[in-house]
């Protein structure tokens, strides 16, 4: 007898929640599933993805595309995030979100989301200014996380998003500009020592109460704060603390064996 689906799921823990949110924060592309308005059949497209301050996925899509027209007819959609690497593609974590896509029309929200999108997906600047492109915010209704074989979890909306996440939004751009222009060495430490990424020209692309997002070329990374930050002063202290943490990590790493 086959096991009931709920018996396959693991109890959700903090590690799984952080993995799901990391997949959301670092994804630049995803598979978007919508319902074809002509007959209700599923339609899947690859789309560029960024996130709002709370982690909600953002889509920058053309009004001429079939998937955008489908969203205008029925805002229900599903978004699959998580890129495979070498070897078995099914061994890599992925997150499937059931969402409601909301067209962003408020000018303040649109400016914030546009800035975040273009920092995270800079190549989108090629078409972002075209008159038919619009930003949709995907509000999660539920999530299904597969962290690898035997690691399946169900998530509720609160598990996917950062609560009360917009306190840093007014200061995000000046914080990022200051760090990228004046403290590039610290940014590199974050990526290389705390996120385990290779040496590259890293930059900060986002900051929120739970952590920072980084990018270098085709690479993205997420580094989490040890505790939430709520103010610009808190953010500065947290960024300084991350430098110390990165330096401690570097000093504790074993030295490579001698070639002699």
Compute the distance between CA of residue 232 and CA of residue 236 in angstroms, rounded to an integer: 6
- For residue range 33-44, what is the model confidence (pLDDT) as tens digits? 999 999 999 999
Nearest Cα residue to 193 out of 256, 253, 255: 253
Q: How many domains does the chain have?
A: 2
The Cα 202–Cα 148 span in angstroms is: 28
Q: What are the C-alpha distances in Å from 144 to residues 39, 159, 191, 224?
A: 26, 11, 28, 22
Q: Estimate to the nearest angstrom the gap between the alpha carbon of 260 and the chain centroid.
A: 44
Q: Say yes or no: 169 and 115 in one domain.
A: no
CATH code of the domain covering residue 194:
3.20.180.10
Residue ranges of alpha helices (H) inside 197-252 are 232-252
Give a yes or no: residue 41 inside a domain.
yes
Q: pLDDT (tens digit, 0 to 9) for every residue of the chain, 260 residues total? A: 444 455 789 999 999 999 999 999 999 999 999 999 999 999 999 999 999 999 999 999 999 999 999 999 999 999 999 988 888 888 899 999 999 999 999 999 999 999 999 999 999 999 999 999 999 999 999 999 999 878 999 999 999 999 999 999 999 999 999 999 999 999 999 999 999 999 999 999 999 999 999 999 999 999 999 999 999 999 999 999 999 999 998 777 665 555 54
DSSP codes of every residue in 90-108: GGS-EEEEEEEEEE---HH
Alpha-carbon dihedral of residues 32, 49, 139, 79, nearest 10 degrees? 30
Domain enclosing residue 191, as ranges: 163-249
pTM over 0.85: yes
Residue 171 falls inside a structural domain: yes
Domain's final residue, options 134, 161, 188: 161
Look at residue 259 and tell me if it is in a domain.
no
Q: Tell me how far apart the alpha carbons of residues 59 and 48 are, in angstroms, rounded to a whole number.
A: 6
């Amino acid at each position: 007898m086959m096991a009931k689906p709920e018996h396959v799921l693991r109890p959700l823990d903090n590690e799984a929640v952080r993995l799901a949110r990391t997949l959301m924060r670092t994804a630049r592309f995803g598979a978007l599933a919508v319902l074809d308005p002509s007959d209700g059949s599923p339609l899947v497209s690859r789309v560029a993805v960024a996130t709002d301050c709370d982690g909600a996925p953002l889509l920058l899509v053309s009004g001429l595309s079939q998937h955008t027209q489908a969203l205008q007819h029925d805002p229900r959609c599903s978004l699959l995030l998580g890129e495979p690497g070498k070897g078995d593609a099914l061994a890599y974590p992925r997150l499937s979100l059931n969402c409601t896509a909301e067209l962003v029309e408020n000018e303040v929200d649109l400016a914030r989301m546009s800035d975040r999108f273009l920092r995270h997906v800079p190549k989108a600047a090629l078409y972002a200014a075209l008159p038919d492109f619009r930003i949709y915010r995907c509000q999660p209704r539920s999530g299904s996380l597969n962290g690898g074989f035997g690691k399946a979890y169900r998530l509720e909306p609160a598990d996917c998003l950062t609560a009360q996440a917009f306190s840093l939004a007014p200061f995000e751009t000046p914080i990022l500009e200051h760090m990228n222009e004046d403290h590039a060495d610290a940014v590199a430490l974050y990526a290389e020592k705390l996120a385990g990424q290779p040496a590259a020209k890293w930059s900060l692309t986002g900051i929120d109460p739970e952590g920072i997002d980084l990018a270098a070329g085709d690479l993205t990374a997420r580094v989490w704060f040890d505790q939430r930050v709520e103010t610009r002063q808190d953010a500065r202290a947290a960024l300084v603390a991350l430098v110390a943490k990165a330096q401690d990590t570097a000093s504790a790493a074993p030295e490579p064996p001698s070639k002699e």
